[in-house]
Structure formats: C-alpha cells, structure tokens
Chains A and B, each alone.
Chain A
C-alpha cells in the first residue's frame, strides 16, 4: 500500500472551525492544552474533524496503540525535534543576509534533515510495529533513503561539511584594523597564563567568564571576516554555492506531512500521560455504528480530571450503559452532584472515540455519531432581542431539525427560565420528538415527569454520602425514578424522618 497519510486512511476534508459543542463540553480548554506548544503544526483542524468511517478510526487506534510503546514514541519525538531544528536552521529571509552564511545555513539544515531521516529509519527498522499506517510509513522511508535523490543529497552534504569544518583561521585585531589569515599551529595563551599561576590554584572558585550565548546571527564585522576566509579558501566556498543551487528544494512532501500529522498522536498521548500517572485509565473503545447499546466503565470528564490532578484532588469515575431499547439518560439529583459532569463525560467520550483516540475509562463501547449536538444553559444574550425562553426554543428547534437517528443530543438544565408548568409542557413535547428520532440523548433536568417517559429513558441520579447527605459523592447511579433519595437524606440529617420523628416525639 502506498503511504500518504498517518492520520487519514482515505482523503478527508478538514474542518477549520471549532465545532459548536466544544464550549459546552469543556473541550476548548482540553484541546488547547493538548496542542499547547505545538502551534507550528497547526493541529486544531485535526481535532475539529470527527471521523465518520469505522475503518478510519481503527486505522488511528492501531497507530496510537503502537505509539503507546515508549521506544516508538521516543524515536518519533526525537525525529520531530530534529525536524524542528532543521526548520530553525533554514536561512531566514527577513534577517540580515550574508551570502556565505545563508548558504551554510541551508547546508546545515540539509544535514539535520538527512540525519533525522536516517536515524528515524534506523530506529524504526527493528521495532515490532503492528499498525498498517506506521508499517507503510516505515517502508516509504526505506525506499526514500535508497532513492538517488536522497543518496546524492546525503553524500554531497557530508563532503562539504568535512571540508568546511577543517578550515581554521586567525584574526589579528588592532584598534580598527582587522587582519585574517589561515591558521598556523600555536599554543593556547589562556592555558599558559593559567599554568603560571597553577601553584596558587584551589578548588571551587568564582567564575569570572562572561557567558556568550551562542548566536548564529552575524554582524557585518563577522561577515567581513567570513568574506576574508572565503577568499583564503575559494574552492570550498564555490562548492558551497553550487550545493545551494542544486538543493534549494530538498524536503520530501510526504515526510513533511508525516512530521505534522504524527503530532496529533504525540499531543494526545502526552496529555493523557499526566492523567494516567494519577491512576486514571484510558482505553480504546469498541466503535459501533448500528447498535446503540453502548457502555463505559470508569469514564470521567477529561477537562475536570486535568484540573483536579493539577490540584492534587481525587477524581470520581462513573459507569453508564444503555441496553435494549434504552436511548435517553435523564439526569437528576442535587446540584453540584456531578450531573453536568456526567453529561460532559458522555459527550467527550463519543467525541474522542470519533477522533480515534484513547478515551477516558477502563473499557467502553461507543456509538459513531453523524452529528453531536449540545444545548447547555447559556447566559442571557442582550445583543439579540429574543427572550431567553424563545432563544432556548429556537436553538432546540434547530437541533431537532438537524438531528438524525445517528446523532447524539446532550441537553443541560434547559427551559428553566419559565414556569414549572410551561417547562413540563415544553419538555414533554420535546421528549416526544426525541423519542421518535430514536436518538442517543443525555438530558439533565429537574422535571420529574420526564423520568419515566418511555422505555427509552433511563433515570440516573447524582448521589450523596449515605451518612452525611451534605457530602457529594459525585457518583451518578441508575436509580428508580422516585426523585426522593436526596430529600430523604436531608431529612435524616435533621432527624425528621418518620422513624426519627417517632422516637423524638414522646407522647
């Protein structure tokens, strides 16, 4: 199989704008953190573009699985570092340009490039690679290295570098006069001075030397000196000029693309490694496109987890599953009990699965959606003149219009800006539509009437600690739709339950 891309099995159009659900699912922070420091690769479009083909997802899962091995991961990051260094070395068209220096910059960049490719190919050769993507790439590299284009590039570079590095020269500066001559063997005077005072020498002493930060930029005096050196060694410098004409375009398109695309995997693996260190699991989900009986064990909100790990706080994982005809999670329970987190987790898991990434949790089977819609309660927007309720309804209408049976809808505490009676009415209407769509849905709500709407709804409740109902466990549990668990635990705390009151009231 000819290799073209490590991210896409088939040609796929990239989406440049951030999907609408990123904000609601807290994915904006997550993706920004993931790609932080990798701006040069422009990874955002890769994270914006969900895959639609299960095979394309498997292609990425296989690659990522291979890359979880440190050995492979490390050699790919080393390659990236070299390629980055190569780009830094290329002559900067904006800087002060001196011919002999720019020519050398190009030579140095070519050298770094060919070293990067040689060592990557050498590193990959003995590795036990299983993914079709990386196998094809490895083969591509071998063929590229053997190609006449690359071999002559490599040989010419090495010869020229050897010739240049053998050049040594002297500069004699007196006042404003500078003389350049080729080097004759001479002793190092600093060492001689040191020897004179050797007898006083002791350990550990203050360093008076100035730190000259290595800087490849040249000023015009250095450029004049270099010109002098070029005159002293005309042959080598002529060869350097010829080299630059010949190899102006030395970079291979496919390899450059690979260098960018592989960063997608590196970025995600680097991001989750911090979370893994604190004991959280990630796994490759089974992807289904025709069966909505999905599940996740020990899933979690990756944005929240990242924050809590940084603060050294514990993270609560949650399980969920849908079986048979079940399609809709109705989430209720105390506030700050993890309802929104549950909704986000559900959405994030499906999104990450569609990217072909490792997803939070020990094990999961997830649905390959065509569109993912979210509707979280928003701050009132005074720039548009519609009322909040109207605004809500318009957005929900749009969602219901666009959603297909293969979509996912996540709604969080909507319709709260109206009377309970209205809200119940509207919710029921909306539920009918969702029910008919047979779409996967998570709906965080305070409206009890939705809890047992049909066989498709599953009630899950955020819970509190049994002994002390003021402590949230952040566990979301499947519970019968009575909506009383929370009220009862508070009653117990104040000793006003039935039995408590019987004991307390002595007649």
Chain B
C-alpha cells in the first residue's frame, strides 16, 4: 500500500535535505508570504509546503507532469481532497488517544492496546475505501486513478473480514495455545503461538478429549506466584504476535502519515488557488521544457507574494526569450525590477514543484538549482565590508553551482564605485555565461550593462528596461530596450521629498 501522490515511484520524504541556500531563497523571494497563503495558520501545511517547494528544484520533468495532472484533479474536486485529508487527520488523532503501548512493556497489554487501535484503523481504512468507491470516476490523473484503484483492490470486504477474525481470535477467549521444544536444562524453548479459535479450536478439542494424551493441572487460586509464572509464560508465547500487531499498527499509521503529508501539499495548492482566484489573479499550468534548452516565455507573469501582500491583482510582465542565457534588467527605480526578478524565481520554484504558476501562460526550461544574489542591508556582523560580504556570498554560490543553474542577481556588486563594480560583475557574469548558466541580472551599473549590450555578438543576452512614462508614474512593465544611463533616481528623490 503506497500513497505515491507526489512521486510516481517513491514516498515523499519530509526529512529530505533542503537546498543549502534555503534561507537566502526564503528571504530574497519573500516566500513566507506564498507559504502562509498555502498553509493558513496550520504549521504542518506550512512545513509540507515549504519542503515541497524548496526541494522541487530537483524534480525531473516526469514528476512535474505527474503532479500537474493531480493538481488539475484537485482543482476540479476540492471537497473530495479535503475529505480525504480530514479522514487521515482523524486516524492520526485516534492514535494519540488509543495508544498506550508505548508505556507498557508486557506483551499482553501491548497486544490489547494494539487490538483496540487496529479496530479503529480498520474503520478508517473502510472510510477511505468508501471515498474511493464514490468518487473514483471523477478523477482523471494517473496519480489518483492508481491511488483509488489500490484502495478498492487492497481493502476489499473479505480483507476487512480477515482482519476482524484475527482481532477476535487474538482476544484468546478460549485460552492460549503454545508449543515448545525442549532446550538446555529441559526448559521449554522456541515458544510458538497457535491459533485456538473457531474451526481450529474444535480440532484441538478432539485431541484434548483423548484423556490418555494430556496432563492437566490447576494453579491454586491463592497461588499468586503461580499465576504470575503462568502469565509470564503466556506473555512470552504471545510476544511475537503482539509485536507483529503493534508493528502492523505502526505500518498503517505510517501510511496515514504519508497520505496526510502528500495530501497536505495539494491542500496548500487549493488554499493558494482560492486566494488568487478571489482577486481574479490569473494562474496557469505551466509548460516545463528540458534542462538543456534556454527558454523563458510568459504572459502576465506577476509576483504572487506581492499580489498577496497588497491583496489585489498586479500588473504582470510578458517576454519571450529563446536561446538566451543572460537577461539584464535596467531602468527606473521602483519600476518593478526587483518584483520582476522575484516573479521569475517564484514561478520557477512553483513550476518545478508541480504547481500552477502566477501567469496567464508560462513556459521555461527546468533548472537544477536556483541561486539568488540580492543586495543586502548593511552587514551587522561587523566582520567584513559590504563588497567583501557580497563577494563572499558569490564565492559560496560558486562552490555549489551545477550545470543548468538559474541565478538571479539583484543590484549585486554595486557596493563600490561604478567602474570597479562593473568590472567585477563583468568578470563574474562572463564566466557564468560561458558555462551556459541562466542569469537574470537587475543592475544600475551602466558600464556593466552597456558593455554586454555592445559585445552581444552571439545574441545570447537580452536587455529589459523598467519603463518610465514621461509623467513619471511607473507602469511596472518591462520592455526590451537598451540600457540607459540614468535610473531616474531623481524622480524618486523629488517624490519622496516632495520638492520640485
């Protein structure tokens, strides 16, 4: 019995390592806003959302397509998904109430606790089967089809009967039958428990009826030591079966836990979808392209974090970049450059984790790691200058880069004068570009941007500019355009200081 709702052939591992730059990604892309929208105030949903999104970067194309199918089913049947989630949550709750086996060490008490819990679990499994019976026809994805069919096949009525028979006979109403061999010191060894219930009981009764073959004795009711000795013997006899049943409980519990975990991701997706739908912000199932290609094409791509923060739909961007590995973004301050950069990063993460994407349509090649290098506030640790700190972060990134990485730079290396900053940026970006890594670079470093613009022989780079209307109100739209020397800082200054 496998859940397999996140991967086609393996379980999701909540303990899988996160990318080394998890903190940077969270901070630079402001992912907590996105994650909170998925989780509400539920910590478990939050954890699952964070782990699926951050580890999604390593997913292959098949996994993404697999999840996209499941998400589409979820969006069509949100109530069924929420019902499944509630049922599994109930199973986990009942375990907390009904399970005392952890504290008692005697097989007899472990067994009776395990029987009690198994009765509850079998009831919950029945509920899952009923959901499958009722709704299987409404689902089209491979993932849910497999899952529901499995429930129907494995959890048949005869199977529940088998469980029930076992639980009844494990209550040993007719006595406990154990066989022994004789070991050293003529002690009974290798105790084996035999079923003594129902049909099997009558078989044994016939044997025991022949008086010459049995030896009977009774422990005196006041012989406390004797009663204890006998219970120790029977405890040893049922030791294995108690363990087997308790472990089976754990196995089933694990199934429920895993089901809850994997469903939690889709619950998060549903929650996010509802919020975006409320402000009529568009979403789409993106079209992932293989790692080898270099493509970014989308319409109305926006930063969902900003939209969620502002509580309204925001203006998106549109580009179509084919066979390019460098995008340099220049232009007006507060012209939406950072927002654009974030939307690129967030969309990439969402797409690779199998989610829908905040855009009208979206197409991009997969990457196998994502790096952000954003300008930071002044260094508070006092042990390095600002440029020093930036270069040190760059060095960390360089140590982790793999082929087909995506790197997002936001005003990096500007902590010195323009000439030096440009030269550093030039050397770094040239190297990255030669490795065919995909770079988005927001910059005010005119020399740097211009240098690439003039030397773009192979046409591997594209230049976007934050647009500025002559009336100084920003449109928050980027256009393909040559880098300009001024970034309209003056405008902002005047606006803020309300001077003319």
Contact = CB atoms under 8 A, between A and B. Distances in A.
Interface of A: 89, 100-101, 103-105, 108, 164-165, 167-184, 186-190, 192-194, 196-197, 199-202, 205-210, 212, 216, 218-222, 224-229, 231-232
Nearest to B221: A176
The 5 A-B pairs of least Cβ separation, nearest first, read A174-B175, A228-B215, A197-B248, A200-B251, A209-B243
A467 B450 CA distance: 72
- Chain A binding surface SS class: mixed
Nearest to A111: B184
B97 interface: no
Given A179-B214, A181-B207, A173 B176 contact: yes
Nearest to A207: B243
Contacts of B219: 176-178, 221
Of listed A164, A169, A193, A207, residue having the most chain B CB within 10 A:
A193
Given A173-B230, A209-B242, A232-B215, 4 more contacts: A190-B243, A200-B1, A208-B243, A222-B187
B241 to A, nearest CB: 4
Given A100-B186, A193-B244, A208-B247, A186 B215 contact: no
Given A189-B195, A216-B187, A177 B254 contact: no
A206 B250 contact: yes
B185 A216 contact: yes
Interface stretch (B58-66, B103-111, B305-313, B487-495): B103-111
B181 A210 contact: no
Contacts of B177: 170-172, 186
7 contacts: A170-B179, A182-B213, A194-B248, A196-B248, A212-B236, A219-B232, A231-B215
A178 B217 CA distance: 6
B110 to A, nearest CB: 5
Interface in B198-241: 204, 207-208, 213-221, 225-227, 229-230, 232-236, 239-241
Contacts of B110: 208, 210
B185 A105 contact: yes
A368 B393 CA distance: 78
Contacts of B175: 172-175, 177
Contact of B213 (A104, A105, A181): A181
B166 interface: yes
Interface in B106-157: 106-107, 110, 114, 154
A101 B183 CA distance: 11
A222 B246 contact: no
Interface in B302-346: none
A104 B185 contact: yes
A240 to B, nearest CB: 9
Contacts of B178: 170-171, 173
B233 A173 contact: yes
B255 interface: yes
A115 B380 CA distance: 76
Interface string B87-114: 0000000000000010001110010001
A465 to B, nearest CB: 45
B80 interface: no
Contacts of A231: 215
Given A164-B186, A172-B208, A221-B230, A193 B245 contact: yes
Interface in B235-275: 235-236, 239-248, 250-252, 254-255
